[in-house]
Amino acid sequence: MSDSDNVWALLLAAGEGRRLKGLTTTRTGLAIPKQFCSLDLGPSLLREAVARAAAVTAPERICTIVAAQHRRWWSHQLDGLESENVIIQPRNRGTAIGMLLPLITLMERDPRARIMVLPSDHHVREEGRLAHALRYAAAPPAAEWPHILLLGLEPTTVDLQLGYIVPRRQGARAHHAVERFVEKPDMAHAQRLLGQGALWNTFIIAADAQSLLELFERRCPDIVTAMRAAVRGTRGGRDNGEALAELYETLPDLDFSRAILEGQEQYLRVLPIPDCGWSDLGTPERVAAALDALPRVSRDAATVSAAGNVLLSLAAQSASLRHSRVAAAGGR
C-alpha cells in the first residue's frame, strides 16, 4: 500500500486473558496474558499479530495499545515498532476504553486515517487467506464502501463461547447490513443462528477513524471529551501521562460490543470471510483444537527461547495440564 492510503493497523494487546488463566499461569504462579505467549514453540501471538498487520499497511503505521502493568512482557516483543506507536494505558478498563485511547491518539496524528483493528491474542492457521480479506476490507474499492466494516467468519461448528453477527443478506453484495449481535448463545439458539447464516464475530474491524469515533460519541460523549483532553495533555496543565492516569481512575469498565456496537447496527456492515483456521484461543478447549490442527512438533519444553527471551508455550502448558489430570484420575 502507498502512504496516501492512510491505512493504520491497531493491535489490541492490553487484555488480561482471564479466561485462559489456567493455561497461562507458570509453575511459580505468575499469570501471563495469552498475547505474550507462544501457541506452539513459535513466536508469541502478539508477534504473529504484528506480522498479520503488515499485510495491510507499512511498518511505521502499525500501532498497538498495551497496559502499563504488562511492560515486562511487551517491552521486548515490540522493539521493532516505533516508540510513538506503542500506546500505553495506565490500567485495563475494558475493550471500549482500550480502543478509544489509541483511536483518539491516532486521530491526533492523522484525522483522515482508516484503521484496521486487530486483536493480538488470536491464532490463524491460514494467514494468507485472512490477509486477502484484510486487504480487501482496508482499501475501499468504491465510494460507497462502508465506513465501518466488521469481519465475520463463516462458522465451521457450533461454538457456545463466541459472539455471533446476524447479517441482513443483500443479494450478491460482498458485505451486508448487520441485523443484530448475539453473545454466547445456548445450544438451541446457536443452531438456529447457524441456520440463519450467522457469522462468528472476530472483533476485526476496518473503519474510518472519524466514523468509529462517532460510535463512541453517541454512547459516551463525556468520556470522549475527557479522553481527548487527556491525550492532548490539557487537563489542569498536567502532562499526557499524568492526565491519563488521573482520568483512568475515574473511568468505568466498558465492553466495546455491548456498550458501543449493540444498538448501533444501522451504522455497521459485515464482510463474510471463509474459514481460515481462525481461533480466539479463548478456552483451553479451543487451544487444544487449534493445536490438533497444526503439524506435530516436539512439545516437551515448557518454554521456548525467541530473540533471547523466554516465551510460555500454550502447547506445553496444555500437555502438562492433561498429564496432571490423568495422573490425578489414576490416583483415585
- Residue 200 to residue 198: CA distance in whole angstroms: 7
- Residue 28 to residue 272: CA distance in whole angstroms: 43
In this prediction the pTM is 0.90
Query: pLDDT value at position 240?
Result: 74
Helices 240-248/221-231 angle, 10° precision: 150
List % helix, strand, coil for the chain (3-state, nearest 5).
40, 20, 35
Residue 46's alpha-carbon distances to 63, 139, 150, in angstroms, are 12, 24, 21
Provide the pLDDT confidence category of residue 329 given band limits of 50, 70 and 90: low
- Give 130-160 pLDDT, tens digit per residue: 999 999 898 765 656 778 999 999 999 999 9
Which range has the top average pLDDT, 15-29, 61-75, 306-320?
61-75
Is the pLDDT assigned to residue 1 strictly greater than 50?
Answer: no
Query: pLDDT value at position 130?
Result: 96
**Lowest mean pLDDT: which of 77-81, 87-91, 153-157, 296-300?**
296-300
Q: What is the DSSP string of 82-134?
A: -GGGEEEESS--HHHHHHHHHHHHHHHH-TT-EEEEEESS-EES-HHHHHHHH
Is the pLDDT assigned to residue 171 strictly greater than 60?
Answer: yes
Query: Where is pLDDT greater, at 71 or 297?
Result: 71
Is the pLDDT assigned to residue 96 strictly greater than 80?
Answer: yes
Is the pLDDT assigned to residue 236 strictly greater than 70?
Answer: no
- Give 187-207 pLDDT, tens digit per residue: 999 999 999 999 999 999 999
Query: pLDDT value at position 115?
Result: 95
- Give 210-230 pLDDT, tens digit per residue: 999 999 999 999 999 999 999
**What structural domains does the chain harbor?**
3-146+202-256+275-330 (3.90.550.10)
Mean pLDDT of the region 54-60: 94
Provide the pLDDT confidence category of residue 330 given band limits of 50, 70 and 90: low
Query: pLDDT value at position 144?
Result: 64
Is the pLDDT assigned to residue 318 strictly greater than 90?
Answer: no
State the SS3 of 189-256: HHHHHHHCCCEEEEEEEEEEHHHHHHHHHHHCHHHHHHHHHHHCCCCCCCCHHHHHHHHHCCCCCCCH
Percent of the chain exceeding pLDDT 90 equals 68
Mean pLDDT of the region 14-43: 90
Where does residue 293 rank: exposed (0-12), middle (13-18), buried (19+ CB within 10 A)? exposed
